[in-house]
Structures are given as structure tokens and as C-alpha cells.
Amino acid sequence: MIDLDRLIARIEQLGQVGALPGGGCKRLALTPEDAAGRALVTGWFRDLGLDVTTDVIGNTWAIRPGPGDLPPVVMGSHIDTVATGGLYDGTLGVLAGLEVIESAIEAGVETDHPLAVAFFTNEEGARFAPDMMGSGVAAGALPLDAMLASRGIDDATVDEALTAIGARGDAPVGALSPAAYLELHIEQGPVLESEGVQIGVVTGVQGISWTEFTVKGRSAHAGTTPMLMRRDAGHVAAAIAMEARAIATDFGPPQVATVGRMSLSPDLVNVVPERATLTVDLRNTDETRLAGAEARLFAFAEAAARDEGCTLTRRSLARFEPVAFDAKLVDDIATAADRLGYSHRRMPSGAGHDAQMFAPFCPSAMIFVPSRDGISHNIEEYTAPEDLERGARLLADVALARAGCRKGPRA
């Protein structure tokens, strides 16, 4: 059923929106580039005669109706990117879902449940925190008013950005109510490729904790101020960063820790920093251990600041507990992979995804396909055509079965 050439052509065409030198693209959420991407994709939705809806935070979905009044089986992901994004992260899940629906239409396949494809606002969290914002609002896990007030890295609010690009729809929160949610995604890691496995059957998503620390000390001359008389905010920030790595090492897999952003002020070579800001991203598949990692990091940061004579404040940018996907739907994906002759392994996701927001409210699961060299959030992100095709075919098999596939008049 899957037209691989059409799928790849759409991936490449969308990749030209916000294209970066050397490959990849930049479509930060609710920017003009995101608006152009939205227009392109919704145009493809309308070309198929699908019913297109956008809600109050900009989530957009398109439905191919079924014969009755049943809730839809939704396939989806996101089309926003990080600042140095690739062509496949998120985009594959949306455009493969569109391909499943178009192929079903061409084959005269009908389903009891409607089929739907969706993209969700600000999945990446690269411009606004938290990530998975749109899907979190849609699923009722994040409060709409607080998300609209979230201020981005450019100081604009989500509310202002929605208005600026005309992305706000009329549908209320919760208007999309899936019978099931399926998301095809590149792995964004090296496991499948390194093991020579074709499909990742995703069992759940590990918990995520994003924290921003701000350290305030006192600027001073770098040459004339003795070390014991300094209130060095930069030193405290560096110590917090080292402790984050130590926590990941001491806790062991699957605990990970990342310092993704760090800034110093006044940012001069010969001045002791008076202010430092850094973010720490902690992740674990076990909620108790994730909470333990947070507790250790927070206690260390407070002690390090106190010992240096600095003050410390912290704020949570995002906090999601680990999520387990629907066991039956996960089994269905594994069974379908066997039927199609695809090698597969069960695995958790180390990254956050829209699917985790729907998991508490409807049967949800994910399919991974390999990423070359494990690279993602990078202009060199790449997944081979044969892997794209396997993922899309598996998505079609599971989605159509869950929707109650039956042949139409042309069968």
C-alpha cells in the first residue's frame, strides 16, 4: 500500500521549509518557518478531502471519516524542529500517517473507526518550555492558560506567537479524542543500527526532569581577587555540571544527565562571573530513581552555592513521569512486525514524544526505525529509504487493524 517515493518526496519538500546550509532545517515552534510548514502540510491534508481541524493551541489534525460515529485512530507527531534539526524527527510520523491514509483511499480500504493524522504544537520545547506542549494540552495533562503564558527564548509568549502566525484554531481543548494513538519515529539513538535490528517496538518513555539553575555571586577582577575571597557564580555552575555527570555515572544506565545550556555574565575573560545560568536535563525509566537523582542534584547545588557565598534559585522547565505504553497495542506492533518479516526488539524511548501525553487516556504506542550513526537533532540526521518504508508499512498494518479494516467497493 505504501508509496515510498511519495513519502520521501514530501519529507524532502517539507525539509526545504526553514532549510539550513549543508542540510537539515530550522522550524522553531510558532515562527514564520513553522507557519510555512503548517500551511504546506495542511494543504496536503485538504488535497485528500480530509476534515481538517485546529484547536486553540495550534494542534492540527485531519480525519478520514468512518461509517459511524466512532472515535478516530490517530497517527501523529510534530513538524517543529530544534535550531539545528534534521528532516525526519517528528516529520516522519506525520507524513507517514498521511501516507497511510492516502494509500488506504487509493486502495479502496475502509475502516470502522475514522483514520486521522495530526501534528502537535511545540513538541521540541526548543523555543518554549515545556516540550510536548500541544499534545499535553490536548490530552489535558498541561493547563492551557499556563501554556499560553509560557515565555520563549525570544521573550514572546505562546499566546503572542500563535496570534503572530495565525496558528490559533477554534476547536477547544480535548476536541481530539482518539480511540488509539500511534506514532512512528526515528530512534534518535544508535541501538537499532548497532544491533542490526529493523524495528524498535517501544514499550514506554522514560521520565524527564528539566531544571534551570541561576547562580548569583559578585563580579571581581580576575587578577587581583584571591581565590578564597571570590563569590564565583561560574565556579558553582561548573560544579553543578560536574555533579550532574557524576549522578549519571553513579546511578548507572538508564540514568542520563545533560547540561544543555550555560551562560555567564558579564562574560569577560578577565572578570569573575557574577551570574551564571544553566539547565540540567535528567532522565530515567524509573520514577523513584529519577526523583532520587533530582534530590541529590538539588542538594548539591544548594551546598555548592552556599560554600561559595553565592545565592541559588531554580525553576522547573518540564517534569514528566515515566510512561508505559498500552501492553496490548505494543504486542500488536510486535506481532505485526513478525508477520511482515521485520526483525525487532522491545525498547524504551530515551526521548520525550507526543505519544506519552496520550498514553494515560487512550491506548498508545510507538514504532522506531533506525537512525544512521544514532544522530538526531543534527542536520546530518538520516534514515535509509528501506527503513522508512518498513516503518510506514508497519504503521499501516497496525493502524488499519486497530481501526477495523475492511475492503470497500473496489476490492
Cell 518479516, residue located = 341
Local structure of 379: helix, strand or coil: coil
In the annotated binding site for Zn(2+), the residues are 78, 89, 124, 185, 377
Nearest C-alpha neighbor of 96 from the set 112, 125, 118, 72: 118
154 Cβ neighbours under 8 A, 6+ residues apart: 127
Distance CA 122, CA 369 (A): 22
Half-sphere exposure of 209 (CA within 13 A, CB side): 26
166 Cβ neighbours under 8 A, 6+ residues apart: 35
- Whether 123 and 26 have beta carbons less than 8 Å apart is answered as no
- Whether 34 and 62 have beta carbons less than 8 Å apart is answered as no
Distance CA 173, CA 177 (A): 10
- Going by the DSSP 8-state scheme, the letter that residue 70 receives in this structure is P
CATH of domain 4-205+323-407: 3.40.630.10
Distance CA 104, CA 66 (A): 12
- Whether 253 and 180 have beta carbons less than 8 Å apart is answered as no
- Whether 361 and 71 have beta carbons less than 8 Å apart is answered as no
| Alpha-carbon distances, residue 193 vs 152, 187, 284, 388 (angstroms) | 35, 9, 22, 14
Euclidean distance between the first and the last CA atom of the chain, given in angstroms as a whole number:
13
| Alpha-carbon distances, residue 129 vs 18, 146, 204, 214 (angstroms) | 21, 11, 22, 17
- Going by the DSSP 8-state scheme, the letter that residue 142 receives in this structure is S
In the annotated binding site, the residues are 78, 89, 124, 185, 377
Burial of 249 (0-12, 13-18, 19+ CB in 10 A): exposed
- Whether 251 and 284 have beta carbons less than 8 Å apart is answered as yes
Nearest C-alpha neighbor of 41 from the set 111, 90, 114: 90
Across 51-138, where does the E strand assignment appear? 51-54, 60-64, 73-77, 109-111, 115-119
Per-residue pLDDT of the chain (411 residues; tens, 9 = 90+): 799 999 999 999 999 999 999 999 999 999 999 999 999 999 999 999 999 999 999 999 999 998 889 999 999 999 999 999 999 999 999 999 999 999 999 999 999 999 999 999 999 999 999 999 999 999 999 999 999 999 999 999 999 999 999 999 999 999 999 999 999 999 999 999 999 999 999 999 999 999 999 999 999 999 999 999 999 999 999 999 999 999 999 999 999 999 999 999 999 999 999 999 999 999 999 999 999 999 999 999 999 999 999 999 999 998 989 999 999 999 999 999 999 999 999 999 988 899 999 999 999 999 999 999 999 999 999 999 999 999 999 999 999 999 998 765 433
Position 408 scores a pLDDT of 55
Q: Which amino acid is at 210?
A: W
Position 410 scores a pLDDT of 36
- Peptide linkage before 65 cis (omega within 30 of 0): no
CATH of domain 207-320: 3.30.70.360
Distance CA 201, CA 210 (A): 26
Cell 504503521, residue located = 395
Q: Which amino acid is at 109?
A: V
pTM: 0.87
Q: Determine the distance from the C-alpha atom of residue 274 to the mean position of all C-alpha atoms in its chain, rounded to a whole number.
A: 34
| Alpha-carbon distances, residue 133 vs 78, 136, 352 (angstroms) | 11, 5, 11
Burial of 385 (0-12, 13-18, 19+ CB in 10 A): exposed
- Whether 288 and 190 have beta carbons less than 8 Å apart is answered as no
Residue spans per domain, the chain: 4-205+323-407, 207-320
Position 318 scores a pLDDT of 87
Distance CA 156, CA 112 (A): 43
- Whether 101 and 48 have beta carbons less than 8 Å apart is answered as yes
What does the CA dihedral 321, 327, 331, 332 come to, rounded to 10 degrees? -100
* C-alpha triplet 306, 207, 127: angle, nearest 5°: 75
Q: With residue 215 as reference, give the H or E element that holds it.
A: strand 207-216
Say whether 207-320 and 4-205+323-407 share the same fold: no
What does the CA dihedral 289, 294, 296, 298 come to, rounded to 10 degrees? -170
